């Protein structure tokens, strides 16, 4: 789990403030530690290492002692010439009898008689008292650095000139102030202490520190109870109360306990939020308190030890250990406290960042990618719609242009169409006049009159067919693709253009494949394509002798299933400079040509899913090849 400062916007790990859960409440100085690892291997081989004796008041198993050791070791590693440490622990909680202490002093005096110590670090008031009584035996004249002592101890002790120390201040008043910030509606504070001498000293300190609270705040002190009674009293509290648990080493029945386990029982059963003054209680049910870290105490001890080793001893120098508000994030969540009420310098321990905080950069990157992808998709959709709109407009313009091209072609062929229509109309008129004369003869020749009517009907159907084809070519609108016979479309187109081809003295031969040649297309558009190609071929041969003006049209079914139509002429062919752009708009080989016929013809072929190309392999003339898929 992480820790973070309350005034910080971004959670981060504060490795130096990661507390191992435990208790050292029965005096910070009641700590002992494992043997400090020797740093002799790091010293300069040419210089003798400094020798440091560390005397602990209690055993080394307390978590607080481990933290203090880490800070002490980190500071001592700053000694450039290396150091050797010797550790002694008095275990005063179990072996505080005078005879035991006398034996311990004698053993230590014998052990260190031949060792030139540079400094002695004393941890805890009991260890301080021991060293002051036996200093002359164990380390005469060696500077002392004292730590894990309270300000009350300092008031009762006058430090010698060669002694420096770190004074710990367990801030009851600061802890209550923190609790009141988190619980502004609280009107009662309940203080719990045990029955040991140390517990009672805490009760007296609390009464002294809390004497100046406002009159509307009630302070209730609970002491000399059994553990079960402490738990039951905690259950009876109101959620608006503040429970301050200072020290419960021994209960009213004389039973001794591991303090942090007692704290866990009481805090977990309590109906009100619990607070304490020891950082090692975090994680055992308390919300927090105004605390110092044991690691920082160890670091301060190490700094003073380095000063003493370097000879920079300030007689009676005492420095205060640093402290700050510290809270357990999980308990903050449990009681629904607002993080905004914390002081700006508060440390939030066991912090569990939200997904947004924990993966802020990752989520920002994902959101950026999603945003960019969304923007890209939106741009593609807009572009796609724009292309569709432009494609629709182009298709509409192409149809309009194709229609105008057909109208232009029909204008050019108007004389031929008039001639084509004039023939059946003249025949109809002649037959009608002949029929009138036969009807006036006596007797009337009924059989001959019948043949005349047949001729009139035939000529009328022929005229109607020509007019129908003209209307199909003149029609304007979307092309409807449907199965048609390509051979039929070619034949109808040639019939329509017959008079124009006769006027241009051009012969057309059509060699269709056997049977129908089915394609999926627009009859009128394919007629326009064929008409464009046939008239272009006729124009290409306008300078040739009449006998050589011949257009050849062939259709076939290819092996790949597609349908093919080819139109060949005997003209000069396509100029080399126009071969690559012959199908581009406004490119023409004719002096007065618009250059739209071939462009429109290719667009019609592409719209039908086919292709239109010119065969480059011919030595004379041009050959246009139309390929269309079968339906």
For helices 486-496 and 446-474, give the axis angle rounded to 10 degrees: 110
Report which DSSP code applies to 442. S
495 and 629 together in one domain? yes
Question: C-alpha angle 587/588/590, rounded to 5°?
Answer: 160
101 and 211 together in one domain? no
Is 526 domain-assigned?
yes
Domain with residue 138: its CATH number is 3.40.50.2300
Q: Are 199 and 233 in contact (CB under 8 A)?
A: no
Instruction: Work out the end-to-end distance of the chain between its first and last CA atoms, rounded to an integer number of angstroms.
Output: 71
**Residues with Cβ < 8 Å from 487, sequence gap 6 or more?**
512, 513, 516, 517, 555
- DSSP E strands in 259-381: the ranges are 274-275, 288-292, 318-320, 323-328, 347-351
Token pair for residue 496?
């329509």
Mean pLDDT, each 10-residue run in order, the chain (631 residues): 61 35 36 38 49 88 79 79 86 88 95 94 92 94 90 77 88 94 96 92 91 91 95 96 94 89 94 93 93 86 90 85 90 94 92 79 90 93 89 68 60 56 73 78 78 80 68 57 90 83 90 90 85 88 91 92 93 83 74 68 87 80 91 82
**Residues with Cβ < 8 Å from 162, sequence gap 6 or more?**
141, 143, 144, 313, 315
Pairwise CA distance, residues 558 & 87, whole Å: 103
Q: Are 491 and 498 in contact (CB under 8 A)?
A: no
C-alpha separations of 309 from 70, 119, 303 in Å: 20, 7, 10
Token pair for residue 563?
């349908």
Q: Are 571 and 586 in contact (CB under 8 A)?
A: no
**Residues with Cβ < 8 Å from 173, sequence gap 6 or more?**
209, 210, 290
What H or E segment, with its residue span, contains residue 293?
Answer: none
Q: Is the torsion defined by CA of 256, 260, 263, 265 positive or negative?
A: negative
Report which DSSP code applies to 213. S
Q: What strand order describes the sheet that includes 507-511? A: 507-511, 550-557, 563-568, 623-628, 611-614
Q: Is the peptide bond before 437 cis (omega within 30 degrees of 0)?
A: no
Is 135 domain-assigned?
yes
Question: For tokens 């269709």, what's the residue?
Answer: 512
98 and 109 together in one domain? yes
Is 425 domain-assigned?
no
- Domain with 531 in it: 481-631
596 and 622 together in one domain? yes
Pairwise CA distance, residues 186 & 180, whole Å: 7
Is 417 domain-assigned?
no
Is 349 domain-assigned?
no
Domain with residue 210: its CATH number is 3.40.50
Is 165 domain-assigned?
yes
Residue 592 is predicted with a pLDDT of 57
Q: Are 149 and 183 in contact (CB under 8 A)?
A: no
Question: For tokens 């704290």, what's the residue?
Answer: 263
Q: Which residues pair with 190 in a beta bridge?
A: 220, 243
Residue 15 is predicted with a pLDDT of 32
Is 611 domain-assigned?
yes
Token pair for residue 587?
């490119």
Q: Is the torsion defined by CA of 474, 554, 596, 548 positive or negative?
A: negative
The number of C-alpha atoms within 13 Å of 425 and in the hemisphere containing its C-beta is: 9
165 and 178 together in one domain? no
C-alpha separations of 578 from 414, 571, 589, 598, 614 in Å: 30, 15, 8, 12, 12
27 and 105 together in one domain? yes
C-alpha separations of 238 from 189, 208, 266 in Å: 11, 25, 14
Q: How many domains does the chain have?
A: 3
User: Parallel, antiparallel, or unpaired: how do β-strands 274-275 and 218-222 relate?
Assistant: unpaired
Residue 151 is predicted with a pLDDT of 74
148 and 182 together in one domain? no
Q: Are 213 and 176 in contact (CB under 8 A)?
A: yes
DSSP string, 571-616: S----GGGTTTTTSTT--SSTT--S-HHHHHHHHHHHTT-EEEE-T
CB-neighbour burial class of residue 154 (10 A; exposed 0-12, middle 13-18, buried 19+): middle
**Residues with Cβ < 8 Å from 519, sequence gap 6 or more?**
483, 484, 486, 526, 563, 608, 628, 629, 630, 631
Q: Are 14 and 3 in contact (CB under 8 A)?
A: yes
Residue 46 is predicted with a pLDDT of 36
12 and 126 together in one domain? yes
Q: Are 523 and 406 in contact (CB under 8 A)?
A: no
130 and 41 together in one domain? yes
Domain with residue 568: its CATH number is 3.30.565.10
Q: Which residues pair with 485 in a beta bridge?
A: 518
64 and 192 together in one domain? no
Is 407 domain-assigned?
no
117 and 23 together in one domain? yes
What H or E segment, with its residue span, contains residue 110?
Answer: helix 98-111
183 and 88 together in one domain? no
Q: Are 623 and 614 in contact (CB under 8 A)?
A: yes
């Amino acid at each position: 789990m992480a820790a973070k400062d309350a005034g910080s916007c971004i959670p981060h790990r504060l490795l130096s403030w990661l507390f191992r859960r435990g208790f050292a409440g029965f005096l910070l100085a009641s700590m002992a530690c494992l043997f400090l690892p020797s740093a002799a291997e790091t010293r300069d081989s040419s210089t003798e290492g400094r020798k440091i004796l560390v005397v602990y008041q209690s055993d080394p198993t307390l978590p607080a002692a481990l933290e203090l050791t880490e800070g002490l070791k980190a500071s001592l590693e700053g000694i450039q010439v290396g150091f050797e440490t010797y550790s002694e622990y008095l275990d005063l909680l179990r072996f505080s009898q005078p005879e035991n202490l006398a034996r311990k002093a004698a053993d230590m005096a014998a052990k260190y008689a031949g060792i030139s110590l540079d400094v002695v670090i004393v941890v805890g008031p009991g260890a301080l008292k021991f060293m002051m009584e036996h200093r002359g035996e164990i380390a005469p004249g060696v500077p002392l650095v004292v730590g894990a002592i309270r300000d009350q101890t300092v008031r009762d002790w006058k430090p010698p000139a060669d002694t420096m120390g770190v004074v710990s201040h367990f801030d009851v008043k600061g802890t209550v102030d923190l609790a009141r910030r988190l619980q502004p509606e609280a009107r009662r504070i309940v203080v719990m202490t045990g029955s040991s001498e140390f517990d009672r000293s805490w009760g007296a300190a609390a009464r002294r520190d809390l004497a100046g609270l406002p009159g509307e705040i009630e302070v209730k002190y609970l002491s000399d109870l059994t553990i079960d009674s402490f738990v039951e009293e905690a259950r009876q509290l109101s959620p608006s109360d503040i429970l301050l648990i200072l020290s419960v080493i021994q209960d009213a029945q004389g039973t001794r306990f591991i303090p942090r386990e007692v704290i866990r029982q009481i805090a977990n059963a309590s109906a009100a939020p619990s607070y304490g003054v020891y950082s090692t209680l975090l994680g055992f049910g308390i919300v927090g308190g105004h605390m110092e870290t044991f690691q920082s105490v160890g670091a301060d001890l190490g700094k003073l030890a380095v000063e003493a080793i370097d000879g920079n001893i300030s007689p009676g120098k005492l420095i205060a250990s640093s402290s700050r508000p510290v809270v357990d994030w999980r308990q903050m969540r449990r009681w629904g406290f607002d993080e905004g009420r914390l002081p700006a310098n508060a440390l939030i321990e066991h912090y569990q960042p939200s997904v947004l905080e924990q993966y802020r950069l990752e989520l920002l990157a994902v959101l950026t990618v999603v945003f960019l992808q969304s923007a890209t998709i939106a741009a593609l959709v807009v572009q796609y719609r724009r292309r569709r709109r432009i494609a629709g407009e182009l298709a509409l313009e192409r149809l309009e242009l194709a229609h105008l091209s057909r109208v232009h072609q029909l204008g050019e062929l108007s004389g031929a169409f008039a001639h084509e229509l004039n023939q059946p109309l003249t025949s109809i008129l002649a037959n009608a006049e002949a029929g009138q004369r036969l009807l006036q003869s006596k007797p009337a020749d009924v059989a001959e009159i019948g043949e005349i009517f047949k001729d009139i009907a035939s000529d009328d159907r022929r005229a109607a067919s020509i007019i129908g084809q003209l209307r199909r070519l003149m029609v304007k609108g979307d092309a409807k693709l449907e199965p048609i016979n390509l051979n039929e479309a070619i034949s109808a187109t040639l019939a329509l253009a017959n008079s124009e081809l006769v006027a241009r003295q051009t012969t057309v031969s059509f060699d269709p494949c056997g049977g129908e040649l089915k394609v999926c297309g627009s009859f009128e558009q394919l007629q326009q394509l064929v008409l464009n190609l046939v008239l272009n071929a006729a124009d290409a041969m306008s300078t040739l002798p009449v006998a050589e003006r011949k257009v050849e049209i062939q259709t076939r079914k290819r092996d790949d299933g597609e349908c093919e139509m080819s139109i060949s002429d005997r003209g000069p062919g396509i100029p080399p400079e126009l071969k690559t752009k012959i199908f581009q708009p406004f490119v023409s080989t004719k002096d007065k040509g618009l250059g739209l016929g071939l462009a429109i013809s290719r667009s019609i072929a592409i719209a039908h899913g086919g292709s239109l190309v010119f065969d480059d392999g011919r030595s004379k003339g041009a050959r246009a090849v139309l390929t269309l898929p079968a339906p």
